[in-house]
Amino acid sequence: MKVLVIGGGAREHALCRSLSLDPDVTALHCAPGNAGIAEVARLHPVDALDGAAVAALAGELEADLVVIGPEAPLVAGVADAVRAAGIPCFGPSGEAAQLEGSKAFAKDVMAGAGVPTARSYVCTTPAEIDEALDAFGAPYVVKDDGLAAGKGVVVTSDLAEARAHALACERVVIEEYLDGPEVSLFAITDGTTVLPLQPAQDFKRALDGDLGPNTGGMGAYSPLPWADPKLVDEVLETVLQPTVDELRRRGTPFSGLLYAGLAITGRGVRVIEFNARFGDPETQVVLARLRTPLAAVLLGSANGTLDTLPPLAWREDAAVTVVVAAHNYPGTPRSGDPIEGLDEVAAEDGPQAYVLHAGTRREGDAVVSAGGRVLSVTATGSDLAQARERAYKALGRIRLDGSQHRTDIAEKAAEGS
Ligand code: AMP
Ligand code: GLY
């Protein structure tokens, strides 16, 4: 099978790594990719948001499957353009991707499907904003309605800060605060059949101890030793399947990856958000644990034949990933700094620990930083403590001036396991 992956982050590197290890995959291409993906796939300089260009490239490459990684091309309808060219595509239509593209749309689908989520108001005027903030009280949860790369959400007990963020958004969702640990649960679906993956936990805040601003995610681990073993079945029944059924019923069937961001509250599981694509950095740990070859599963989603596949198989191993971010992330990051130590990780730590590139590019012989989240170090082990130790040991070999990372990824879960 010839596969073209669209995107160029650590998630796409993880997808390409798994696909490169899949004996079904005979050719692997990525556009635009990054310096790490270039080691396992052929890169093509294409604008990921340009559906016609992506479809044309897939045609030229005679791709049997196109896999769209990030949300922006999905919301822009790139999957529609690929499918219109007669090429199977993993990823939802532009309309169905509104599940991620518009928080108000997601809330409406959840209401229709009876899926438990935070109570919320959609506001467009200062008066509506004040009324909603007053109705819920602190801590305030204020979300920009549109796509914001995980950075459009402010959770604060400071009313002035909540109000300022709300006023800066064109349309804003203000909602009830959900208390409890967060879980990311992904499912691969073809619009009817839903195959849940293993749950993971992401660390959204920039600094140790869950302090600092929200980011796209600073690290993740899987499995979750503290979670109820029935969690996946419960979320499949109360969240994932009803959402997929509701979207089909509305005439906007959703195929691809359905990402449920969940809060495990004292009153039960609640959806914090949906995304329409694999999460980053959770994908790095979930795919590290997936034993089933990936290509046939992604193709089954694209072709509507997931019901014919055998159940997914998982490794017993635990996995931890730690993100290395550039100076000043999640503000405007500094780029162009050389990254050293990558060869040492490959020589000393592989295959139990490896680097997945995000914002990197090659400059002559050097690999330099080219984005906010620069790379993530992923490691597996017999338990979280071992995976964590291996991840941080490998990370210690990497030198990137001004870089930052959290030191407490999976720490509490490893102590409890
Ligand atoms: P989102 O982009 O919707 O995932 O929100 C980013 C982060 O903000 C989430 O991962 C949570 O940590 C936090 N958050 C979002 N909504 C809520 C909520 N209703 N209650 C508490 N925390 C929330
Ligand atoms: N890890 C959060 C996200 O991918 O949105």
Q: How far apart are CA 170 and CA 110, in angstroms?
A: 22
Is residue 290 scored above 80 in pLDDT?
yes
Residue 202 CA: nearest ligand 1 atom is: 10
Least distant ligand from the CA of 279: 2
Pairing between β-strand 360-363 and β-strand 366-369 as defined by DSSP bridges? antiparallel
Say whether the peptide bond before residue 23 is cis (omega within 30 degrees of 0): no
Q: How far apart are CA 63 and CA 320, in angstroms?
A: 32
Q: How far is the CA of 69 from the centre of ligand 1 (A)?
A: 22
Is residue 252 scored above 80 in pLDDT?
yes
Residue 275 CA: nearest ligand 1 atom is: 4
Q: Which of 273, 274, 275, 280 is the pocket-test mutation for ligand 1 (most atoms within 8 Å of CB)? A: 273
Q: How far apart are CA 22 and CA 45, in angstroms?
A: 24
Is residue 146 scored above 80 in pLDDT?
no
Q: How far apart are CA 413 and CA 417, in angstroms?
A: 6
| 3-class DSSP state of 129 | helix
Q: What is the pLDDT of residue 244?
A: 98
Range 64-78 average pLDDT:
97
Q: How far is the CA of 364 from the centre of ligand 2 (A)?
A: 32
Q: How far apart are CA 53 and CA 81, in angstroms?
A: 9
| DSSP H or E run through 43 | strand 42-43
Mean pLDDT, the chain, rounded, equals 96
Is residue 366 scored above 90 in pLDDT?
yes
Percentage of residues of the chain with pLDDT beyond 70 = 99
Say whether the peptide bond before residue 330 is cis (omega within 30 degrees of 0): yes
- Compute how many other C-beta atoms are within 10 angstroms of the C-beta atom of residue 224: 22
Angle, CA of 312, 89 and 13, to the nearest 5°: 65
Nearest to 318 by CA among 386, 374, 264: 386
Q: Which of 143, 257, 259, 283 is the pocket-test mutation for ligand 2 (most atoms within 8 Å of CB)? A: 259
| DSSP H or E run through 243 | helix 241-249
Pairing between β-strand 2-7 and β-strand 65-68 as defined by DSSP bridges? parallel
Of 67-71, 214-218, 273-277, least confident by mean pLDDT is: 214-218
Q: What is the pLDDT of residue 272?
A: 94
Q: How far is the CA of 91 from the centre of ligand 1 (A)?
A: 24
Percentage of residues of the chain with pLDDT beyond 90 = 94
Q: What confidence category does residue 149 fall into, taking pLDDT thresholds of 50, 70 and 90? A: low
Q: What is the pLDDT of residue 111?
A: 96
Range 275-302 average pLDDT:
98
pLDDT tens digit sequence for 213-248:
889 999 999 999 999 999 999 999 999 999 999 999
Range 36-40 average pLDDT:
97
Residue 278 CA: nearest ligand 2 atom is: 4
- With a 6 Å cutoff on the Cβ, whether 273 touches ligand 1 is yes
Whole-model pTM: value is 0.94
Is residue 339 scored above 90 in pLDDT?
yes
Q: How far apart are CA 276 and CA 74, in angstroms?
A: 8
- Compute how many other C-beta atoms are within 10 angstroms of the C-beta atom of residue 402: 13
Domains and CATH numbers, the chain: 2-90 (3.40.50.20), 119-175 (3.30.1490.20), 184-239+255-308 (3.30.470.20), 318-415 (3.90.600.10)
Range 327-351 average pLDDT:
95
Of 169-173, 273-277, 309-313, 375-379, least confident by mean pLDDT is: 169-173
Is residue 150 scored above 60 in pLDDT?
no
